[in-house]
Amino acid sequence: MTNEHEKETGSKYPVKEENREKWYFKPVSILGAILLFGPLGLLPLWFRPKTKLWMKILVSVVVIGLTVIMTIETVNIYQKMLTHFENVSQMYAP
């Protein structure tokens, strides 16, 4: 019993395809890396040969912009919490 691969190559063991995309270059992996690691997840995007330059720049600007906005908002929330806790502690101070 021979299958198509054996007929074509003479070997029953499949040959590894060299043109297959690596798992870390797949769009799903890159998106997961960006969601998990923020701007650090942009590294696989920039090393991915199939992605066009304009797409790399666009995604990078969006991710870095969102990171800056979220960092500023985190600092603002922290400052508001500190003010709130100071007010509460003054209410119950003897």
The CA distances from residue 63 to 3, 51, 74, 81, 84, in Å, are: 48, 16, 16, 27, 31
d(CA 38, CA 34): 5
Q: What is the pLDDT of residue 5?
A: 57
> Residue 21's pLDDT band (boundaries 50, 70, 90)?
confident
55/94: higher pLDDT: 55
pLDDT per residue as tens digits for the range 24-81: 889 999 999 999 999 999 999 999 999 999 999 999 999 999 999 999 999 999 999 9
